[in-house]
Structure 1
Amino acid sequence: MPRVVIASRIYAPEPAAAAYRLGALGRALARRGAAVDVLTSRAPQGRTTDAGVRVRRWPVLRDASGAVRGYLPYASYDVPLLLRLALARRPDVVVVEPPPTTGAVVAAVCAARRIPYVYYAADLLSVAAAGSGVSPAVVRVLRAVEGAVLRRAARVLTVSDPVADVVRTFGVRDERLEVVGSGVDVDAFASEPAAAQQEELLVYAGTMSEVHGAGLFVEAFGLVAARRPGARLVMFGGGVDREAMRARAEELAPGRVTFPGPVPAAQVAAAFRGARAGLASLRPGGGYEFAIVTKVFAATACGAPVVYAGPGPCAGLVRRHGLGWAVDFTPDAVAAAMEEALAAPPAPDERRRLAAWTRTDASLTGVADRAAAAVLRVAGARAGGGSRP
């Protein structure tokens, strides 16, 4: 039986894309007969009990929004991880998720114990930092660390071809690179009959940070609110921009925009099922235009069309598959799409079509199966005495 350790600062059931992605990977590995240990942080709420997956949690620092984000929160996870991983029963392979500081800890321990590791490059933090105004000196250090972690990995998993192209710029060879895709947990974000009385509701669910520029939706809703007095906007999740967005929302549309914080996926799904549209964005000019924004799929999995603002592959997906509106990253363009969405609820047949497309083309189960197969090939090479790929 192959033994796999997943090292990540967050894991299911936390309401975050990385947590959903790694939870799906853990289940996929267990289905294939692996013994899976997850070394993660103590979740603010809830627990996961997936068969074949043992989750070991450690208390960490969190920022004001509840996220494990920033130098001290990262260190509060990474420093204990050094000992946790060094003392863990010897695995055949370790899977590690960003940030690259966690990758560096895993790389060091795995080098000492002669264990291969797989880096799940769903994010490239040095690229995000370069586009968000971080000091060039810090970006250079971060890029050096991230590059070293990527190059030393037995395999690097990426979520799309554009991300793979960026990974290659760090010197990662094609034989160590695998594109597994991106998607959403269609069981957590399931399409069920919508509420009988669908209100004029718009829903955002996810991180509110400089990369996403989610404050755009507050500005756009401010333009819409006076013309549609029954409309509401709900912003689920946390992030560094959340409090500033909350204050701005009270200026533009008092009492009409709510910020429930990070909540379980079932609560988000229930909101999407009754919403006129979901919202997703990617700020242009941040160097992160290659990113896949999984917020798109969370909405469509529940049968809600999406208003997507910004560049990148998601704009093409929305247009190509009729998933909603793909517009420029401006308040006026977003407000126009919001008004069109609010004018009438999606027909039941359209909701079913969106949910069916998501289940077929953007299911996290399929992504996790491809990722698990890649991880187990690395584990098999080690167990069979093969050289590191």
Structure 2
Amino acid sequence: MDTIASLFSFITTPVSWVIVQFHKLYGALFGPDTGWAWGLSIVSLVVLIRVCLIPLFVKQIKSTRNMQALQPKMKAIQERYKNDRQRQSEEMMKLYKETGTNPLSSCLPILAQSPFFFALYHVLSSIASGKTIGVINQSLLDSARQAHIFGAPLAAKFMDSPEKVAALDASLNSVRIVTAVMIVMMSASQFYTQRQLMMKNVDLTVKTPYMQQQKMLMYIFPLIFAVMGINFPVGVLVYWLTTNVWTMGQQMFVINQNPTPGSKAQDHYLQRLLKSVSTHGEVRGRRRRNVVQAVVAKGPDRNENERRFITGLAKAGFSAQADGSVAKADPATAEAEDAAAGRRQQPRRQSKAQRQTGGTTAARTSLEKKDGDAGDTAAEERAGAGSGGDSAPRSARQAKSGQRKGPQRPKHPSSKK
């Protein structure tokens, strides 16, 4: 066993033991030397690991959402202390402590499964080299070397030489086709997972550098997987493809059932909830009642999606209650109560043509006012002339040039007249 593999011996032995146990199960169904038995053993290993990592995934979701919510405050701190890096770091740490946010929580699932990934990589590399590792003895080693997935051995790589592939009883073309297809699927699943996170489960009303970083990662990560994939054995590609598909499905479930406030996914969720309430006349399910309760508790701080949901309930003849249930109500009364709660709506943005039309109307009104004032002045002058000068025209009543308008201050007796 090489030096690197010896460093991971504390994890390679448990990983190899788990694979062997699953192999016994699937070997009884499909045959011990088949690719299905060994391939499904790797897939089952992934599922077992990801199930154990679900608590960390929940922490990752909370940390990611807290980081999104803190982005405006973090940006304000960076701008305020842009010339003082130490003070900037202290304020950031203070903000994290006050809100209970840990930036590293978003990386916990990846960090936690990394040892299993490296352990599986060394197990498969040892199988390719014909070396026993962990609890895999010589008989299991020979069985694993005979296992093929769509004509590609578990231990073969895209960059292997024809001689090495021939030693595993396979053709180079079969290995490269299978590995290329799996690399493309692995990169595509990674891209789709990140894309649905950015397009559906992000509060689009807040524009922060965090969103730009996530957008860059959406394109960088698939490229990294594609470059690294050509050096992975087929068994490792099975592992990584399975974990990407699991992540994609897990992310879809979270977006569908627990979306980020202010996102498109939240709007779709609340509209489905509104349709369910309109159909059944009640909020079905404890989780849904908790959602309605949270929306009611926000009051005037609701976002646009939540205000639209409350308005939709009012139009359907329902009023959301503080305990998360709904009650029958007159639509007009419900809308009046919602307005009294202090709904704050942003003014509609006018188009360029509307702004220009508004400016022209204002200018026209100003000109008409000036013309009216001029007509009034002329009328006063004519009235003054007709009354024999008792009423002076407005121009005569105006202050003389150089004099202050309004009542004049009396002169001092010693001053010259």
TM-score (norm 1): 0.20
Q: Which protein is bigger by CA-based radius of gyration?
A: 2
Q: Which has the higher contact order (CA 8 A, sep 6+)?
A: 1
Structure having the larger proportion of residues in strand? 1
Structure having the larger proportion of residues in helix? 2
